[in-house]
Chain A
Amino acid sequence: MIKNNRDSFSKTEYLLFAVVAVAVFLLCISVGSVNIPLRETLSVILRAVFNMPAEESLSDSVILFVRLPRVICVALEGASLALCGAAMQGLLQNPLADGTTIGVSSGAALGAVLAIAIGANTSILSGISTVAMAMTFAFLSLILILTLAYKLDFSLSTYTIILMGVIFSMFSNSIVSFITTFAGEKVKTIVFWTMGSMAGSSYGNALLLFGALLLFGTVILAHARELNAFAIGENNARHIGVNVKRVKFMILIAVAGLIGVSVSVAGTIGFVGLVIPHITRMLVGPNHKKLLPAALFLGAIFLMLADLISRVALSPLELPIGVITSFVGSIVFVYIFYFKRKGR
């Protein structure tokens, strides 16, 4: 029992994180730039849960059509980014790695920019074409990066992956800059989008994110044991019987898929994937069996709170979410880091 407790996420811990996450979720649903009393909020949610017809009231519109889909998307987005970050830091044994390190997010951004620049204007506003193009490009980037890395370095060493990712990011960014230079004003708007926006979140987006998290997240979580072995060293992992290359492939594909979908829906939201895994590690230790699920919850909690601040701080104005994540994230990080050190 004790051993089990130290090894993996215990039921109590799951419950604790889940309760906090649900509490934050409810908080984010009930607070916003429009003031709706808590009782009203609960009755709207209950009515929706029991499938009663929505009323045409302000609180119904705000909660069911704006806050609920948005907070769900934000939570899933945060969870995905943090999980990817934790997995990449473990896999590459590099504290500066996160989901964007493999370069897939730059590829996704390139797809989105292309969608607008080509003038697929007719369907862009439906939100399908930008998202679809971003996802296609994320997938294509993944294939390209892995094939190249594989050709260059059969063993898929950590450095090869990092270098390929960095170089591919630069490559796609240069193409994005090139397109922006020629396509004039309209593409410049997409630059804002790539910096992250949760404003247009819909239930469709939430479903997409949920599907991706369910599929790729499970793959990542299932490799917690192997990630632990990697943490001690790649050779060590090989010696204790881990199929290093296969595991690397699986995790890279899962991370790329999850990041691709996340970026397609909300743009690149910085800092979550980098900082949350570190904060989680400080709280629950480096064991991936604990780290990964804890990062999942903490990422969701953190991004929900960041989004809440971005919605209400300057109401009726809205702040870009990336500003909050970077600002709050770095302060929280230093704070925790400092006290952990002191405690030792």
Chain B
Amino acid sequence: MRNFLKRNSILALILASAFMFSGCANGDGPPVESANGIEITDMAGQTIILEKPADRIVALTASDCEILYALDAGDTLVGRGEYCDYPEQILEVKPVKSGSDTNVEQIIALQPQLVIMGNMDQTQQQIDAIKSAGIQVLITDPQKIEDIYVAIEIIGKAVGKNDEARKLIEEMRSTFDQIKPIDGDGGRKTVYFEVSPLEYGLWVAGANTFMDEIAEMTGLENAFSDVSGWGQVSQEQVFERDPDYIVAVPMSYASELDYKQELVNREGWQNLKAVKNDAIYITDSDAITRPGPRIAKAAKDFYSFVYGKQPEQ
């Protein structure tokens, strides 16, 4: 639920970040290796200079940790945000507090050369405190799938894995390229993304979320596209919108099987189209909500669920 809030606050500041993106254009160019070292412009528009590829890194965001491992640079991590839990070997890395609980002292004590963090994670004071200890701060802030490539590129640059980063981006792009709408009978079908079970209030993923973007790509319409970001909606709205597909991410509330069982047994849900047609997909919340490398596979799996087959090359 912390994430929901974070996401909302991110969206509230979408204007500010859109402004900052103008600084990201540099990210597309070839890596600049001047005599001074590696120059990187991060996603908050700040330029940092590293003498050499960083080999002591603290990363606070789960997606950034996943990117590091995907670039085969997981061994550079000396600290991770407490919610970074993928891949499994990351659990051996020392956890530090992140988000609103960020503890600067904890980070400095690990003596990293570089801290990678999300845009909304920390206050400016905390960032300044880290910088004044001689530690570089790299900020990532993907709002759309396209932005994930920028994050991968700058993280790749920071650890000197430019080729690996390029390869990973290419792989992800080619996966996403395969995901195209298939024209079917009738109009556009709708999908409902549930991110919190009924018991705690129904939270849905609306517009400006990765799930919404994946639905769009697949040719579906988000049933709650009028909600921005993640929001709590009334149960009766789900009944009224009667979506063609239900996609639920159990977070860590329950196993996938239990979640489905609970969902179809809710009072009145048996009358929903998606429940009658068994068009329910319970999936790994982290893969589809984190702006990391796994989102490509999550999108592919979503496509297979909708069309009953793998996307064609």
Q: Which residue of A lies closest to B276 (CB)?
A: A56
Contact status A67-B201, CB under 8 Å: no
B25 lies within 8 A of chain A by Cβ: no
CA distance A54 to B271 in the complex (A): 11
Contact status B236-A66, CB under 8 Å: yes
A contact residues around B82 at 8 Å (CB): 184
Please, what's the 1-or-0 string for B239-253, where 1 marks a CB less than 8 Å from any CB in chain A?
A: 110100000000111
Q: How large is the interface on A (under 10, 10 to 19, 20 to 34, 35 or more residues)?
A: 35 or more
Q: Are A317 and B231 CB-contacts (below 8 A) given A66-B268, A121-B255, A189-B196? A: yes
B227 lies within 8 A of chain A by Cβ: yes
**Cross-chain contact of B267 among A65, A124, A126, A184 (Cβ < 8 A):** A65
B170 lies within 8 A of chain A by Cβ: no
Please, what's the 1-or-0 string for B116-129, where 1 marks a CB less than 8 Å from any CB in chain A?
A: 00000000000000
Contact status A56-B271, CB under 8 Å: yes
A240 lies within 8 A of chain B by Cβ: no
**Cross-chain contact of B253 among A125, A184, A316 (Cβ < 8 A):** A125
A197 lies within 8 A of chain B by Cβ: yes
B contact residues around A127 at 8 Å (CB): 199
Interface Cβ pair total, 8 Å cutoff: 122
Which residues B211-256 have CB closer than 8 A to chain A? 224, 226-227, 231-237, 239-240, 242, 251-255
Quote the shortest CB–CB distance from A63 to chain B (angstroms). 9
18 A–B contacts from the bound complex (CB under 8 Å): A33-B236, A34-B234, A60-B271, A65-B269, A121-B252, A121-B258, A125-B199, A125-B254, A184-B82, A184-B83, A186-B252, A190-B200, A199-B202, A199-B235, A311-B234, A316-B233, A318-B201, A320-B232
**Cross-chain contact of A199 among B1, B3, B201 (Cβ < 8 A):** B201
Which residues A109-140 have CB closer than 8 A to chain B? 121-127, 130
Quote the shortest CB–CB distance from A313 to chain B (angstroms). 11
Please, what's the 1-or-0 string for A158-171, where 1 marks a CB less than 8 Å from any CB in chain B?
A: 00000000000000
A218 lies within 8 A of chain B by Cβ: no
A236 lies within 8 A of chain B by Cβ: no
List of 10 A-B pairs having minimum Cβ-Cβ separation, nearest first: A65-B268, A125-B262, A186-B252, A199-B201, A65-B267, A316-B237, A62-B236, A200-B199, A189-B1, A34-B240
Quote the shortest CB–CB distance from B116 to chain A (angstroms). 20
| Further pairs besides A33-B234, A197-B199: 4, Cβ < 8 Å | A121-B258, A185-B3, A199-B232, A316-B234
A315 lies within 8 A of chain B by Cβ: yes
Please, what's the 1-or-0 string for A287-312, where 1 marks a CB less than 8 Å from any CB in chain B?
A: 00000000000000000000000010
B contact residues around A318 at 8 Å (CB): 201-202, 232-234
A243 lies within 8 A of chain B by Cβ: no
Please, what's the 1-or-0 string for A33-70, where 1 marks a CB less than 8 Å from any CB in chain B?
A: 11000000000000000000000101011101111010
B contact residues around A33 at 8 Å (CB): 234, 236-237
Interface, chain A (partner B; CB < 8 A): 32-34, 56, 58, 60-62, 64-67, 69, 121-127, 130, 184-186, 188-193, 197, 199-200, 202-203, 311, 315-320
Of the listed residues B201, B234, B267, the one surrounded by the most CB atoms of chain A closer than 10 A to its CB is: B234
B198 lies within 8 A of chain A by Cβ: yes
Quote the shortest CB–CB distance from A27 to chain B (angstroms). 16
Q: Are A124 and B254 CB-contacts (below 8 A) given A200-B201, A316-B226? A: yes
CA distance A203 to B227 in the complex (A): 29
CA distance A34 to B237 in the complex (A): 6
B259 lies within 8 A of chain A by Cβ: yes
**Cross-chain contact of B227 among A32, A189, A190, A317 (Cβ < 8 A):** A317
B181 lies within 8 A of chain A by Cβ: no
Q: Which residue of B lies closest to A197 (CB)?
A: B201
B309 lies within 8 A of chain A by Cβ: no
Contact status B237-A315, CB under 8 Å: yes
Q: How large is the interface on B (under 10, 10 to 19, 20 to 34, 35 or more residues)?
A: 35 or more
Contact status B224-A202, CB under 8 Å: no
CA distance A93 to B231 in the complex (A): 42
B contact residues around A66 at 8 Å (CB): 234-236, 239, 268
CA distance A73 to B37 in the complex (A): 65
B197 lies within 8 A of chain A by Cβ: yes
Contact status A122-B254, CB under 8 Å: yes
B contact residues around A192 at 8 Å (CB): 1, 200-201
Contact status B237-A193, CB under 8 Å: no
B contact residues around A130 at 8 Å (CB): 199
CA distance A65 to B255 in the complex (A): 25
A contact residues around B240 at 8 Å (CB): 34, 58, 62
CA distance A128 to B232 in the complex (A): 22
Q: Which residue of A lies closest to B198 (CB)?
A: A200
CA distance A48 to B258 in the complex (A): 31
A contact residues around B1 at 8 Å (CB): 185, 188-189, 191-192
CA distance A37 to B254 in the complex (A): 38
CA distance A320 to B234 in the complex (A): 11
CA distance A193 to B259 in the complex (A): 18
Quote the shortest CB–CB distance from A262 to chain B (angstroms). 16
CA distance A224 to B252 in the complex (A): 47
A contact residues around B259 at 8 Å (CB): 125
Q: Which residue of A lies closest to B272 (CB)?
A: A61
A contact residues around B201 at 8 Å (CB): 192, 197, 199-200, 318, 320
CA distance A307 to B252 in the complex (A): 28
Contact status B199-A193, CB under 8 Å: yes
Quote the shortest CB–CB distance from B209 to chain A (angstroms). 15
Contact status B253-A61, CB under 8 Å: no
B contact residues around A184 at 8 Å (CB): 82-83
